Amino acid sequence: MGERTTISTADGSFSAYVARPGHSPAPAVVVIQEIFGVNQVMRDITDGLAGQGYLAICPDLFWRIEPGIDITDHSEAEMKRAFELFNAFDVEAGVGDIAATIGHIRKDAGCNGKVGAVGYCLGGQLAFLTATRTDADASVSYYGVGLENRVAEAEKLTHPLLMHIAEEDEFVPKAAQAVILAALKDHPQVEIYTYPGCNHAFAREGGAHYNPEAARLANGRALTFFKRNLG
């Protein structure tokens, strides 16, 4: 069972879901949401990381639009609302909120000082920007959208970044994938895996494009990456 914490910024305060491991201090991981808010999928991922020995925290990044968004991808109305939230979201402010979350959890008595990040979909783009713009020690991006427009920021990377790309991603076309791979595949801080036959959100358990085999592979790679870079 997780807990709630409040993170303060110059613009106001927002909540985050926290799951604690069985021992402390431990490295922390910031879980960066999809377009559905801090929903059960995100809470389950956060709980799962705690089960792997990490102090995990999932901040409510939609708080500036509407606090407490918790929807799914199971109905047309919810999908419509999710894309409205996506279009209204301020990416720059969101990265600032992630930086605040990193600072907040790094000061937690249960954190050993190391903090990583993992994000999905919108969160995949934000995980990339977390790697380029914050002091996160290691970041993982799952099927990040819009990254083809962000690759120039890779010159600012000083910590490791792991990327998962779905080869049949409807929101990251082949041309966009080509731009991302050409720009980043030889970067010394970047590790990239592509997943043949997989569509967007292949790791979202219960989702329309969930691929258990690919999800297990990607999640295993992410845990190995975190163990190597966070301890």
Q: Is 200 a catalytic residue?
A: yes
Q: Which of 104, 164, 200, 209 is catalytic?
A: 200
For the chain, the structural domain boundaries read 3-230
pLDDT at 231: 81
| Cα end-to-end span (Å), the chain | 24
User: pLDDT tens digits for 142-158?
Assistant: 999 999 999 999 999 99
- Asked whether the CA dihedral 88, 92, 98, 103 is positive or negative, the reply is negative
What does pTM read for this prediction? Answer: 0.96
CATH number of 3-230: 3.40.50.1820
CA distance 8 to 38: 18
pLDDT over 90 at 1, yes or no: no
* 23 in catalytic set: no
pLDDT tens-place string over residues 109-127: 999 999 999 999 999 999 9
Q: Distance between CA 188 and CA 93 in Å, rounded?
A: 28
Catalytic residue (choose from 60, 104, 169, 209): 169
**What is residue 38's DSSP assignment?**
S
Taking all residues of the chain, what is their mean pLDDT, rounded to a whole number?
96
Q: 35's torsion region: left (phi>0), alpha (psi -120 to 50) or beta?
A: alpha
Residues 218-227: tens digit of each pLDDT:
999 999 999 9
